[in-house]
Amino acid sequence: MEARHGTLCARFVHCSRFPHTFVQSMRTCLPTMSRVVPFALPLVLVLVGCERTADTAAATANPAATQAITAPIAPLVLQDVIETTPSYIVGISYPQVASKYPPLAQAVQTYAESTRAQLMQAVTGLKGQKPEMPYDLSLSFTQVVETPRVVAVAAEGSSFTGGEHGTPLVERFVWLPQMQQMLAAEQLIPDAANWGPISALVREQLMTALSQQLDDEGVEVDKRAQLLRSGSARIDAGTTPEPKHFSKFEPVMNADGSIRALRFVFPPEQVGTYDDGTRSADVPAKVLLPLIAPVYRPLFRAG
């Protein structure tokens, strides 16, 4: 019986994975089966056994995939990092809120470790020589929002590995506890055409802010026109209607815990000069609601 069971498994395991093949096989086999009705129940039991055998084999062959689906991420304790040597200095501070949500903590830690790895690669390139100024990584994570439905963390800092100035570090993490997922720009607005209205509104805000800045600084008329042209070109290049240009955002909340706007954040040199620093623009919920994926609309409420 074991030999027959193994033979049947070998013949039917493929069919159990491809239903249309299984149906065709059964149509072929039905005339024969009608003559061996007493064996119908054992055959069903064998097929069930085959399915379980195939599932077990698949799980054994790829245990990581099974774990990714069934096993929750273990709690992760985030600990601040302070490291000082003659060649480099590292300072990383984590928010308490991230440790409450293991996937968020994992994302935050992965980003921090990636920035540190880049610094250490530069340190390795020194080959034991001491730099004129110690290389430096300064990275701070702060809580932006924590509600039952939305948690947001901001990352700000810089990494210095020589040169005139450091490299800005700007990132945002939005975790949805009830949906158990990180929220990315591509998920929020999956239709590429829907980025057009957001891009237009953001450009308008950034240009208005640039014009106001030049007025506050009392820039001469001729120079002001020149700076507006160059600034407009940078803003246009950094806000084309593509998700990659709007990947960093944080929610602005209503008192009831709903989102009334999204603040899109632009690192230095994306829409301005390095000296302009990080810039941002708010897009209200009334603009976003018709554009975002339906599954996320209950998170928003126009103020």
Our CA angle for 284, 288, 101, nearest 5°, is 90
pLDDT at 3 over 70: no
Pick the range with the lowest mean pLDDT from 56-65, 87-96, 105-114, 149-158. Answer: 56-65
At 76 the pLDDT is 86
At 175 the pLDDT is 98
β-pairing verdict for 135-146 and 88-93: parallel
pLDDT at 258 over 60: yes
Q: What is the pLDDT of residues 263-273, one digit of tens each?
A: 999 999 999 99
Q: Which two tokens stand for residue 273?
A: 């000069």
- Over residues 109-129, the mean pLDDT reads 96
**Rounded CA gap, 71 and 80, in Å?**
27
- Over residues 84-106, the mean pLDDT reads 96
At 75 the pLDDT is 76
Radius of gyration of the chain (CA): 29
Identify whether the C-beta of residue 202 lies closer than 8 Å to the C-beta of residue 280: no
Q: CA torsion angle for 85, 91, 96, 99 (degrees, to 10)?
A: -70
Question: First CA to last CA across the chain, in angstroms?
Answer: 71
Domain boundaries, the chain: 2-70, 81-182, 187-299
Q: How confident is the model at residue 73 (pLDDT cuts 50, 70, 90)?
A: low
Q: How confident is the model at residue 49 (pLDDT cuts 50, 70, 90)?
A: very low
pLDDT at 41 over 80: no
- Over residues 2-16, the mean pLDDT reads 39
Pick the range with the lowest mean pLDDT from 42-51, 148-157, 279-288, 294-303. Answer: 42-51
At 43 the pLDDT is 36
pLDDT at 29 over 50: no
Identify whether the C-beta of residue 174 lies closer than 8 Å to the C-beta of residue 104: no
- Over residues 213-234, the mean pLDDT reads 94
Q: What CATH homologous superfamily does 81-182 map to? A: Fervidobacterium nodosum Rt17-B1 like (3.30.565.40)
- Over residues 227-235, the mean pLDDT reads 96
Percent of all residues in the chain with a pLDDT value above 70, rounded to a whole number: 76
pLDDT at 295 over 60: yes
